[in-house]
């Protein structure tokens, strides 16, 4: 009965949300029955909340009660999963995560209803504050704000209600029976069959961060819905300035929570995935980051409007766009449209058109009203002075919006590309780095200037006075970094490493810049931009610290903005240090992994020295979950000895799971990922191998597990056809390779030159080269033009099955600043939220 009860509860909740939408919309009219309609809306919201509560209880009952007859329960949980992961399996799948969003919206709607009923005679409208701005805001905005929230809730619930109206199906069914989801499965053809166990949560999701990161993202999205609702209400009521006061606390809470949630996801990736970082510009990562950028831009525009009565249009369109991008993020994640380019994307459950309808409705409502009221929007009597806080804050907000637009464009490339080709690819990481780096410089610099300047206007003398100390401190810190670190060496050659390409190079090649200038920027452009970023981050840090200390002495509640900027500055310095000075621990002679040889190959029981470290692979252990743990004894450059423990295994879905070992420290982290030989899955007795230039392979014979080592040295293009026994007239192409073969028993090394031939009639031939007395022959049977690798076939020996691990390790200096900055940023938002909430209540 769990499934039917849950499904009926969702149907009730969906219908009640529509009733609430209609009722609150009717209550927005200035008529005598408005209060009655508002009452109906509140009762409808209560009924909807009851339906959501029952559906949630049924889903958790199914998850903890092992109701594997439900498709969602079967796919997301298993009997062996720990309690915390059974709990978080609620939102692990697409339908459950949408129900979680529905829960968040239910709670936020309830808080807004409580806020609206206070306006009708609650405690806050009694005494000196009766009839004040807060009560007036509630009277004006309660109806339309709650109507917008009910509209969003109706859309969320429509995604999971699974309601069939004749030929039309609304949403996916969260409580769909397993037999209905997989009607062709042979085992489900037996009536009443229920699997004894489920598939379980994806192993990558079985992480403590799974219990908090997704809920935080949805809390952020839901909170950003409220400023959007107030903006719509302000446009509807023609109250183009009054909407900001009650909306500002919600905007601060939403921006703060979503920002911290994004960084939680970064930490999760950093400690769980093995790509060596915390951010990969994955399209679904970006889809949360873009709304945050626009939300923060809108937040700053709202502050300008509240303080100076200017910037109305920017505050409105940025607020509308921020929430619309939250819905667009949901579309990217849940429509299945990015399934080929993102590891985070859900499969398509048929929600494509509903999500597009939601995006279109939000856009039509917000931007439609904005266009309708455009001529009525007030304009400032005089434009802001160039040397004023509002000008700097507004310019910074504009740069944030531009950055968000650039990232949104890159993220949407696979979608836009379908207009021109069948299988478009995602844009490279270099695109994001190239465009966001100069924008980050501008944002950081303006974030330092904006706090130092005054509202309205400053003279040049005033500006010089407030800037002198922060500038001196910034210059001193920047010079210290350049002197004390290999900044120049790292950044001049860093373009390929960071994926940053100086945009000026294209202009030089096009003839827009003189050749010498173009060459200079081609070599030093990235270095200059990174230097500017370093300077701007220090300037933002010292400028906001000075403001925070000065303001904090008078009123600690006023330090929220400067504290947030201090946190952002520290965060940027952490990104700068851990990226620019990221140090791969390798001599560059490792095996080829996705085009990089910055790794170390360590055979079992042997010690390998590389770049000041000593690595000894000592074997395997088993952790408390029964997973293999690869043990590595390490001695670092300072002579400190320790052990790393990397969990690497193949899960039930036949995918390899690799957890890095991160040794954290304030000044640097040591990040270690391993690729064991088991991942190579080489069949026993294999006689073929693919080698890139510089690669080696070990060969075994029947009586010797390590008889030979073969190293691919280089190509030999000058082939003596006669010596190779070839008919010159019949050969179109002949290429040889030099192989240095070492007999591990005698220590002798010989050079062998097998030849790859293409004849004039297009046929391929292979001239084997043999060491006759060793009983070893090698044939060159293929090559890859793009990476220069070759394919060899051996006769008289096969590939050795020796156990080894490939170690990819990095020192990441001061990455701790990234996490410290995140904490300070979130704390600053919290302080500002508390202050603005108090103002909104007055």
**SS3 sequence of 706-769:** EEEEEEEEEEECCCCCCCCCCCHHHEEEEEEEEEEEEECCCCCEEEECCEEEEECCCCEEEECE
Tell me the mean pLDDT in the region 579-600: 84
DSSP 582-619: -EE-S-S-S--BTTB---EEEEBT-EEEETTEEEEEEE
Q: Which of 242-246, 495-499, 634-638 has the lowest mean pLDDT?
A: 495-499
775: left (phi over 0), alpha (psi -120 to 50) or beta: left
pLDDT digits (tens, 9 = 90+) for 554-573: 788 889 999 999 999 999 99
pLDDT above 90 as % of the chain: 54
Write down the pLDDT at residue 648: 93
Nearest to 624 by CA among 603, 645, 608: 645
Nearest CA to 800 out of 643, 684, 626 is that of 684
pLDDT at 808 exceeding the cut of 70: yes
Q: What is the pLDDT of residues 280-326, one digit of tens each?
A: 888 878 889 999 999 999 999 999 888 777 778 899 999 999 999 99
Whether the Cβ atoms of residue 64 and residue 57 lie closer than 8 Å to each other: no
797 vs 685, more confident: 797
Q: Which residues contact 363 (CB under 8 A, 6 or more apart)?
A: 320, 324
Residue bearing the bigger pLDDT, 709 or 341 = 709
Q: What is the pLDDT of residue 145?
A: 96
Q: Tell which wins on pLDDT, 56 or 729.
A: 56
Tokens of 169: 């199906």
For the segment 64-71, the average pLDDT, to the nearest whole number, is 92
How far is Cα of residue 324 from the mean position of the Cα atoms in its chain? Answer: 19
Distance CA 32, CA 759 (A): 94
Q: What is the predicted pLDDT for the residue at 511?
A: 46
Number of helical (H) and strand (E) elements in the chain, helices listed first: 21, 23
- 628 membership: H or E segment, kind and range: strand 628-635
What was the pLDDT predicted at 686? Answer: 84
592: Cβ contacts below 8 Å, ≥ 6 apart:
692, 695, 787, 789
CA distance 538 to 566: 10
pLDDT at 515: 55
Q: Mean pLDDT across the stretch 179-191?
A: 72
Query: Which of 403, 389, 445, 154 has the alpha carbon at shortest distance from 295?
Result: 403
Rounded to 10 deg, the angle between the 213-237 and 94-118 helix axes is 50
H/E segment holding residue 650: strand 641-650
Cα-Cα-Cα-Cα torsion 124, 125, 129, 131, nearest 10 degrees, comes to 150
CA angle 695/697/698 to nearest 5° reads 150
pLDDT exceeds cutoff 80 at 424: no
Cβ neighbours of 72 (radius 10 Å): 30
| Residues 829, 839: Cα–Cα separation, whole Å | 15
Q: Average pLDDT, whole number, for the chain?
A: 86
* pLDDT score of 230: 96
Residues with Cβ < 8 Å from 512, sequence gap 6 or more? none
Predicted local confidence at residue 337, as pLDDT: 66
Q: What is the mean pLDDT of residues 649-660?
A: 86
| Alpha carbon of residue 79 to chain centroid | 31
What is the domain partition of the chain in residue ranges?
A: 1-124+131-200, 212-266+281-427, 450-581, 688-800
Q: Return the SS3 of 259.
A: helix
Q: What is the DSSP string of 121-189?
A: T-GGGSGGGTTSHHHHHHHHHHHHHHHHHHHHHHHHHHTT--EEETTEEES--TT-BHHHHSTT-GGGG
Phi, psi of 280 (to 5 degrees): -125, 10
pLDDT at position 502 is: 42
Q: Kindly indicate the confidence band of residue 335, based on its pLDDT and cuts at 50, 70 and 90.
A: low
pLDDT band at 18 (very low <50, low <70, confident <90, very high): very high
Strand, helix or coil at 496? helix
Query: Which helix (H) or strand (E) covers residue 307, if one does?
Result: helix 283-308
Does the structure show a pLDDT above 70 at 762?
yes
Among the ranges 416-430, 511-525, 822-836, which has the highest mean pLDDT value?
Answer: 822-836
Query: At 29, phi and psi to the nearest 5?
Result: -80, 145
Q: Taking the alpha carbons of 202, 203, 204, 209 in that order, is the dihedral positive or negative?
A: positive
Which of the residue ranges 137-141, 598-602, 690-694, 831-835 would you say has the lowest mean pLDDT? 137-141
- pLDDT of residue 64 exceeding 50, the answer is yes
Residues 153, 17: contact at Cβ < 8 Å?
yes
Long-range contacts of 284-288 (CB under 8 A, 24+ apart): 284/329, 284/332, 284/333, 284/338, 284/342, 284/344, 284/345, 285/344, 286/407, 286/408, 286/410, 286/411, 286/432, 287/328, 287/329, 287/332, 287/333, 287/411, 288/217, 288/258, 288/261, 288/262, 288/329
pTM of the model: 0.85
Question: Residue for token digits 């409705």?
Answer: 361
| pLDDT 10s digits, 623-635 | 988 889 999 999 9
């Amino acid at each position: 009965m769990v499934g039917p009860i849950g499904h009926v509860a969702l149907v009730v909740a969906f219908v009640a949300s529509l009733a609430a939408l209609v009722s609150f919309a009717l209550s927005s009219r200035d008529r005598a029955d408005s209060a009655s309609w508002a009452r109906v809306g509140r009762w409808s919201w209560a009924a909807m909340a009851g339906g959501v509560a029952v559906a949630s209880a049924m889903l958790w009952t199914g998850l903890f009660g092992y109701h594997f007859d439900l498709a969602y329960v079967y796919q997301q949980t298993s009997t062996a999963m720990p309690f915390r992961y059974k709990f978080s399996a609620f939102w692990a799948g697409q339908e459950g995560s949408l129900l979680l969003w529905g829960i968040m919206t239910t709670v936020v709607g309830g808080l807004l209803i409580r806020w609206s009923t206070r306006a009708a005679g609650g405690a806050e409208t009694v005494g000196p504050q009766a009839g004040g701005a807060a009560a007036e805001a509630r009277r004006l905005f309660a109806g339309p704000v709650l109507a917008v929230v009910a509209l969003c809730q109706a859309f969320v619930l429509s995604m999971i209600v699974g309601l069939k109206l004749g030929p039309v199906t609304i949403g996916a069914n969260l409580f769909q029976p397993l037999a209905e989801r997989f009607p062709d499965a042979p085992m489900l053809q037996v009536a009443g069959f229920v699997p004894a166990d489920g598939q379980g949560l994806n192993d990558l999701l079985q992480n403590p961060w799974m219990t908090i990161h997704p809920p935080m993202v949805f809390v952020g999205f839901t909170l950003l819905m409220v400023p959007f609702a107030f903006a719509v209400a302000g446009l509807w009521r023609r109250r183009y300035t009054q909407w900001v006061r009650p909306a500002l606390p919600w905007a601060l809470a939403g921006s703060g929570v979503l920002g911290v949630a994004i960084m939680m996801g970064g930490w999760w990736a950093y400690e769980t995935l093995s790509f060596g970082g915390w951010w990969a510009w994955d399209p679904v990562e970006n889809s949360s980051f873009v709304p945050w950028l626009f939300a923060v831009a809108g937040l700053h525009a709202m502050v300008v409007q509240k303080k100076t009565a200017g910037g109305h249009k920017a505050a409105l369109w940025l607020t509308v766009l921020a929430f619309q991008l939250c819905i667009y993020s949901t579309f990217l994640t849940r429509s299945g449209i990015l399934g080929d380019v993102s590891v985070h994307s859900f499969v398509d459950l048929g929600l494509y058109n509903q999500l597009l309808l939601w995006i279109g409705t939000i856009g039509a409502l917000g931007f439609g009203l904005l266009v309708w009221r455009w001529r009525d929007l007030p304009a400032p009597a005089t434009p802001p002075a160039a040397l004023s806080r509002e000008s700097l804050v507004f310019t910074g907000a504009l740069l944030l919006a531009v950055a968000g637009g650039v990232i949104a464009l890159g993220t949407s490339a696979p979608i836009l590309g379908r207009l021109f080709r069948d299988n478009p690819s995602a844009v490279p990481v270099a695109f994001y780095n190239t465009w966001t780096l100069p924008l980050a410089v501008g944002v950081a610099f303006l974030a330092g200037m904006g706090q130092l300047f005054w509202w309205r206007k400053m003279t040049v003398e005033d500006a010089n006075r407030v800037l002198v100390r922060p500038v001196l401190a910034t210059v001193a810190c920047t010079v210290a970094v350049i002197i004390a670190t290999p900044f120049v060496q790292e950044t001049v050659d860093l373009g390929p490493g960071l994926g940053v390409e100086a945009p000026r190079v294209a202009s030089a090649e096009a003839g827009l810049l003189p050749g010498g200038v173009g060459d200079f920027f081609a070599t030093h452009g990235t270095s200059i931009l990174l230097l500017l970023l370093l300077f701007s981050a220090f300037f933002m840090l010292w400028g906001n610290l000075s403001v925070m200390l000065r303001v904090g002495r008078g009123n600690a509640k006023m330090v929220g903005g400067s504290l947030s900027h201090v946190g952002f500055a520290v965060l940027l310095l952490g990104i700068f240090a851990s990226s620019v000075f990221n140090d791969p621990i390798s001599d560059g002679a490792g095996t080829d992994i996705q085009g990089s040889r910055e790794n170390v190959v360590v055979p079992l029981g042997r010690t390998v020295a590389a770049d000041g470290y000593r690595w000894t692979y000592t074997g395997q252990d088993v952790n408390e979950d029964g997973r293999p743990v690869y043990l590595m004894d390490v001695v670092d450059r300072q002579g400190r000895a320790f052990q790393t423990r990397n969990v690497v295994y193949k899960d039930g879905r036949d995918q390899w799971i690799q957890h890095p070992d991160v040794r954290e420290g304030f000044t640097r982290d040591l990040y270690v990922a391993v690729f064991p030989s088991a991942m190579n899955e080489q069949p026993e007795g294999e006689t073929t191998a693919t080698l890139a230039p510089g690669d080696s392979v070990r060969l075994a014979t029947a009586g010797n597990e390590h008889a030979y080592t073969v190293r691919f040295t280089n190509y030999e293009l000058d082939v003596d056809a006669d010596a190779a026994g070839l008919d010159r007239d019949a050969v179109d192409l002949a290429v040889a390779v030099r192989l240095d073969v070492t007999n591990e028993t005698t220590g002798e090394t010989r050079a062998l030159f097998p030849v790859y031939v293409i004849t004039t009639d297009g046929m391929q031939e292979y001239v084997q080269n043999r060491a006759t007395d060793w009983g070893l022959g090698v044939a060159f049977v293929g090559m890859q033009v793009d990476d220069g690798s070759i394919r060899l076939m051996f006769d008289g020996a096969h590939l050795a099955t020796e156990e080894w691990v490939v170690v990819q390790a990095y020192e990441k200096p001061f990455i701790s600043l990234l996490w410290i900055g995140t904490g300070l940023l979130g704390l600053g938002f919290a302080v500002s939220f508390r202050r603005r909430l108090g103002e909104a209540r007055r």
